[in-house]
Amino acid sequence: MIKGLIFDLDGVITDTAEYHYLAWKSLAKKLDIEMDRAFNEQLKGISRMESLDLILKHGNKENDYTEEEKQELATQKNEEYQHYIEEITHDDLLPGIERLLKEAKEKGIGMALASASKNGPKIIRQLEIDELFDGTVVDPASLRAGKPDPEIFLKGAEILGLKPEECVGLEDAEAGVESINAAGMFSVGVGSEAAMHKADYIVKDTKELTLDRILKAAEK
């Protein structure tokens, strides 16, 4: 029986995946590296420094910067990203998400957040959903391995006091879906069939996410 939902944040609960993309694209441009949306799919769910490494590799510049310079570049990206998220309010919940969170709460379904983003706590406060995730946000700084490793989703289940098979994970990133699957949970992928083909259940849009549908699919 499903007793918990473990959410990714960026691109599932709110559209910050777009802001990550815009901020990385702007940094890449300064470094004379081309990046498009197709390449960006690889960055979803991946930590800040890992994303930077992938971008530098993509531009054949992986040996051009010292560790210190890379930290500085990541900081620049984060500063631009933080400008975007400054404006986030409750209205920026993606369609269907507020309803899903409410339904889950009413039914006593546990909810945890499994986001690699260090900006996650700030974003959920601005979205005014932080109380729903009180004490159930996995701290990405505590992880030994990021997505696609299952650690982050397993920690989410542990915080909820649930077994992995009692949880559903929701993701918009390929690496995230792999992480959920490796954790032994039912995976819900938000996005195109092509990007989400490894998910157990795919929706094109968060609008389609109702508790009923998710539970029916997971408990089949």
**Binding positions for Mg(2+):** 8, 10, 171-172
Decide: residue 58, CB within 10 A, 0-12 exposed, 13-18 middle, 19+ buried: middle
DSSP state of 94: P
Indicate the annotated binding residues: 8-10, 24, 43-48, 51, 77, 115-119, 147, 171-172
Size of the site for ligand G6P (CB under 6 A): 17
Which residues are bridge partners to 111 per DSSP? 5
* Contacting ligand G6P within 44-83 (CB under 6 A): 44-48, 51, 78
Binder of residue 196, out of ligand G6P, Mg ion, none (CB less than 5 to 8 A by kind):
none
Applying CB under 6 A, does 117 fall inside the site for ligand G6P?
yes
Give min distance, CB of 25 to ligand G6P, in A. 12
Q: What is the CA radius of gyration of the chain?
A: 17
Which structure tokens are listed for 198? 């490894």
Q: Where are the alpha helices (DSSP H) in 87-201?
A: 97-106, 120-126, 151-160, 174-182, 193-196
126 binds ligand G6P (CB under 6 A): no
CA distance 27 to 113: 28
- Residue 96 contacts residue 210 (beta carbons within 8 Å): yes
Strands (E), the chain: 4-7, 110-113, 167-171, 186-190, 201-203
Which of the choices ligand G6P, Mg ion, none does residue 43 contact, using the CB cut-off of 5 to 8 A by kind? ligand G6P
Shortest separation between residue 109's beta carbon and ligand G6P, angstroms: 23
The pair of structure tokens assigned to 141 is 């700084």
**Smallest separation, CB 180 to ligand G6P (Å):** 13
User: Which tokens go with 188?
Assistant: 């819900």
Q: Which segments are annotated as binding site for substrate?
A: 8-10, 24, 43-48, 51, 77, 115-119, 147
Tell the smallest beta-carbon distance from residue 107 to ligand G6P (Å). Answer: 28
Quick check: 40 binds ligand G6P (CB under 6 A)? no
Termini Cα distance of the chain: 10
Q: Is 10 annotated as catalytic?
A: yes
Q: Which residues are catalytic?
A: 8, 10
Binding residues vs ligand G6P (CB under 6 A) = 10, 17, 20, 43-48, 51, 78, 115-119, 173
